[in-house]
Structure 1
Amino acid sequence: MLSRTEPSAGKLLISEPFLSDPNFKRSVILLAEHEEEGTLGFILNQPSSLLLKDLVPDLWQADYPIFIGGPVEVDTIHFIHRCYDKLNSGEEIANGIYWGGNFETLKILVNNNSISENEVKFFLGYSGWGKEQLTEEINTNTWIVSGKYHQDIVFSHNEEELWREVIVNLGPKYAHVSNFPSDPSLN
């Protein structure tokens, strides 16, 4: 029997290639929290057409892209970062990757051009699963869980290739999946 990686904060969820749910098609999700009561994460490769300055008026020059974190509470802004040394806040969810923090301090750093796009990523909403829901979806092969990635992947802005790159990083057993068409009828 093959061992599988269990979900936990800091791990990636990678959707199976033919997942039909439009919210999660070819998604890579960074898990921020995995507790007995449920799981929360952010889709890393679903950009919106918005910029941070469109949502936060006092960040008038913030051309940071906004990603769709998931279909839950899409009227909320979340962020992950890898600049604890500048922000001095946030919950570490993976080695050197933090979720949230002091938003007022972040705004000052953004307005002073002290944080770059490759250090922080913003999301509208989040992806969430209730108690046992994610486990059931993993058991039906909806998701692959991986802890094998470089943090640059999390902050990548190459959304088109992110899913493929993460699949290839899983090794030879999965690499061929990266070449599957997104629509199996095109095969």
Structure 2
Amino acid sequence: MPEYFYADRLFNALERVDPEPGMLLVSAPGMYSPDFARTVVLVLEHDADHTLGVVLNRRSEVALANVMPGWEELAAKPQAVHIGGPVSPESAVGLGVTHSGVDISSSPHLNRLANRLVLLDLNATPEDLAPVVEAIRIFAGYAEWAPGQLDDEILRGDWFVTPALPTDVVASAGADLWGDVMRRQPMPLPLFATFPANLEDN
């Protein structure tokens, strides 16, 4: 591991929060793995057996209309498929932000993650979801951790855990989601908001 990987000292100096569905995993400045450098991962499931999540800030060049016609009408711009992670890239994961005042517990096609942030049942139709969902994002694939793996990575300082905002899932094309999430954290994390994915680019 390179000597510049100092995140164990940076992140471990902060108050530790346990991951749970609806929380964000924010990759450490200088994340060693290129697959997760400057990524923001939304946790979908976390228990003793495994952890599942989707990377929120990796957009593909594939238009959503080309692979799931009709769903683009609900999608936030840019209306492209996003890359949720390296596992099962042929599978689709749908996330959405509900309209204000929607009773998520009474909607059979929604699974609450946090606030107005929901996991979508993609067996539903866009017409089923339109009355309750303000905007959606579709992800190809997901990230997965084996039992204890994520806990070890957090202990090492690879990830910072923080609550998600609904707007994190539907961020605009020009947004730097990693930097934006870092800037709203306690000091000293905002100081690293412009940390490059590749140190050679600095």
Structure 1 residue 114 displacement after superposition: 6.7
Task: Please tell me whether residue 130 in structure 1 is matched to residue 141 in structure 2.
Answer: no
Shift in alpha-carbon separation, 1:61–1:155, aligned structure 2, 3 A: closer
- The answer to which structure has the higher helix fraction is 1
Shift in alpha-carbon separation, 1:27–1:61, aligned structure 2, 3 A: closer
In 2, the alpha carbon distance for the partners of 1:156 and 1:50 equals: 17
- Number of residue equivalences: 181
In 1, the alpha carbon distance for the partners of 2:131 and 2:113 equals: 23
**Is residue 27–residue 163 contact of structure 1 (8 Å, CA) maintained in 2?**
yes
- The TM-score normalised by the length of structure 1 is 0.84
Q: 1:23-172 maps to which residues of 2 (within 5 A)?
A: 23-56=35-68, 58-59=69-70, 62=73, 64-83=79-98, 85=102, 88=107, 89-106=109-126, 108=127, 119-147=135-163, 149-158=164-173, 160-172=175-187
Compute the RMSD of aligned alpha carbons: 2.6
- Which segment drifts farther, 46-55 or 15-24? 15-24
Structure 1 residue 181 displacement after superposition: 2.9
Shift in alpha-carbon separation, 1:131–1:18, aligned structure 2, 3 A: same
- Which segment drifts farther, 62-71 or 90-99? 62-71
SS of 1:139's equivalent?
helix
In 2, the alpha carbon distance for the partners of 1:181 and 1:53 equals: 32
Alignment equivalent of 1:14, drawn from 9, 26, 31: 26
Report runs of 4+ in structure 1 exceeding 3 Å deviation: 60-63, 84-87, 113-116
Q: What are the superposed Cα offsets for residues 130-173 of structure 1, whole Å, 9 maximum, x if unpaired?
A: 100100111111111111x4321221124651100000111222
In 1, the alpha carbon distance for the partners of 2:111 and 2:34 equals: 30
1:165 aligned partner, one-letter code: D
**Is residue 12–residue 29 contact of structure 1 (8 Å, CA) maintained in 2?**
yes
Any unmatched runs of 5+ in structure 1? none
**Is residue 95–residue 169 contact of structure 2 (8 Å, CA) maintained in 1?**
no
Alignment equivalent of 2:190, drawn from 159, 171, 175: 175
1:154 aligned partner, one-letter code: V
- The TM-score normalised by the length of structure 2 is 0.78
Shift in alpha-carbon separation, 1:77–1:184, aligned structure 2, 3 A: same
Q: What percentage of aligned pairs have identical amino acids?
A: 27
**Is residue 90–residue 102 contact of structure 1 (8 Å, CA) maintained in 2?**
no
**Is residue 46–residue 159 contact of structure 1 (8 Å, CA) maintained in 2?**
no
Q: What are the superposed Cα offsets for residues 47-75 of structure 1, whole Å, 9 maximum, x if unpaired?
A: 0011222112x438657211000000000
